[in-house]
Chains A and B, each alone.
Chain A
Amino acid sequence: MKLFTATHFKFALLVAIVTMFVTATASAQNAKIQTSQLDALAAKATETVDVNIDESLMQMTAKFLSNKDPDEAKVKELVNGLKGIYVRSFEFETEGQYSAADLESIRSQLRNSSWDRIVNINSKKEGAVEVYLMHSAGVISGLAVLATDPKEVTIVNIVGPVDLEKLSALEGNFGVPVLGIEYPKTKRKNDE
């Protein structure tokens, strides 16, 4: 009877560990934004860019970047633990080539309660920039940037633990465009 109980306990422990692992993995996966609905915009765009750096590539990159080179070490520290970087960008020759409805598929994912909008800038001259963070168990597990102007749409999606204070160092690397965003340390959408 004692053995039976111990076996059950071990089994329950194993199930709990597996569940925790699966939950953590699922949370990280959820931070990946589905962008395939934007494919239709490509037909009207004068330039399209898709960058897909998945977890295995991300970790390989982190592993082989040098600790001795200060620049590489900085990037290495930043990308360590990241599960992916995905960028999609569309440039148009004229205004009015896309509408709010075209971006609804992205916005509807970001309206999910696990995403918080931490930056929302609207400028007629500069366009609009929205930055969203996903938190899982108190830790940032993903970031999404939606930058639009009348002739351009850019979506940057970083999956994994992101250090906001060092994030600007990632701009210009790994296909992430230079967005010039000053990321706040921690700011929830209710704080705006």
Chain B
Amino acid sequence: MKKLIAIGLVFIALAGGVPPVHAKGDDFNDVVKLIEHFYHVKHQGVPLLARAGIKTATTVARISGGRGRQLAEAGSVKVAYFEDQDFKSNADYLRFKSAITAALAGKWSPLIQVASPKEQEQTYIYLRDAGEKFNVMVVTLESREACVVQVNLSPSTLAKLMQNPDEMGNAITIDATQD
């Protein structure tokens, strides 16, 4: 039953205009593809269906620009999840860092890059000036899951987050994906 609800919710979400992950010439999509190729994993476009129920509905509302958004501009959120997959199989994070740097070079500015090989965690935050707003891309990889989030932030929101860039990735990811 839960599965049916989840599928239904996902269908509604997709019909409601969740931003497509696969758009041509899209750096977000390029990063998602890079992770898939590098770690031999597959993403889910909408945060995990299996959580279903209210949680999924709320998350979907957030993704499609619904209530409760605090940081990202309405309708600006793109999320790709990788859950319960193996990110240890290719533990060479330096190669991954080089690959993502090359993929976004000249288009995005690296703001913060944190890697903890021992904990098998990596976080990358990239920024791009988009006129009156900023595009921010947060890439987080752990041993069994990963998440790519892209949002539009107003300069004033970004200015506030910039004071503590260590927490910026978490704040954006949580805002985009959780209740």
Q: Which residues of B contact A60 (CB under 8 A)?
A: 155, 158-159
Instruction: State A64–B153 Cα separation when bound (angstroms).
Output: 13
Q: Nearest chain-A residue to B110 (Cβ)?
A: A52
Instruction: State A130–B57 Cα separation when bound (angstroms).
Output: 53
Q: Is A126 an interface residue (CB 8 A)?
A: no
- Chain B, 99-117, contact with A by CB distance < 8 Å: what is the 0/1 string? 0000000000111111111
Interface residues on chain A, number (Cβ under 8 Å)? 26
Which of A3-11, A40-48, A150-158, A183-191 lies at the interface with chain B? A40-48
Question: Is the beta-carbon distance between B162 and A53 smaller than 8 angstroms?
Answer: yes
Which of B8-16, B43-51, B163-171 lies at the interface with chain A? B163-171
Tell me if B's interface is mostly helix, strand, loop or mixed: mixed
Question: Is the beta-carbon distance between B110 and A50 smaller than 8 angstroms?
Answer: yes
Q: Is B127 an interface residue (CB 8 A)?
A: yes
For residues 104 through 163 of chain A, which have their beta carbon under 8 Å from a beta carbon of chain B? none
For residues 140 through 175 of chain B, which have their beta carbon under 8 Å from a beta carbon of chain A? 155-156, 158-160, 162-166
Q: Tell me the smallest distance from the CB of B15 to a CB of chain A, in Å.
A: 37
- A46-B116, A47-B116, A56-B129 known; A64+B111 contact, CB < 8 A: no
Instruction: State A151–B163 Cα separation when bound (angstroms).
Output: 27
Question: Is the beta-carbon distance between A51 and B118 smaller than 8 angstroms?
Answer: no
Instruction: State A185–B95 Cα separation when bound (angstroms).
Output: 44
Q: Which residues of A contact B94 (CB under 8 A)?
A: 42-43
Mark B residues whose CB is within 8 Å of A.
Answer: 94, 97, 109-119, 127, 129, 155-156, 158-160, 162-166
Mark A residues whose CB is within 8 Å of B.
Answer: 42-43, 45-54, 56-57, 60-65, 72, 75, 93, 173-175
